[in-house]
Amino acid sequence: MSPFFPFPFRPKVIIAVYFIVDDLLKAIGHDEDVGRGISDA
């Protein structure tokens, strides 16, 4: 891994955080705006 790519921002960590946040938002019943092109997670 490149020294310019610090540990907390590695792709696997970013993907894991995305899915954790997505699951938490779903668990609390968060509704996304239907007109948006990206998810809130």
pLDDT of residue 20: 92
What would you measure as the largest C-alpha separation in the chain, in angstroms? 40
Q: Give CA separation, 23 vs 4, 14, 26, in Å.
A: 30, 14, 5
Tens digit of each residue's pLDDT (9 = 90 or more) over 1-41: 556 666 656 778 888 888 999 899 889 987 777 777 777 66
pLDDT of residue 7: 61
**Average pLDDT over all residues of the chain:** 76
pLDDT of residue 8: 59
Taking the C-alpha atoms of residue 17 and residue 34, their distance in angstroms, rounded to an integer, is 23
pLDDT of residue 2: 58
pLDDT of residue 12: 82
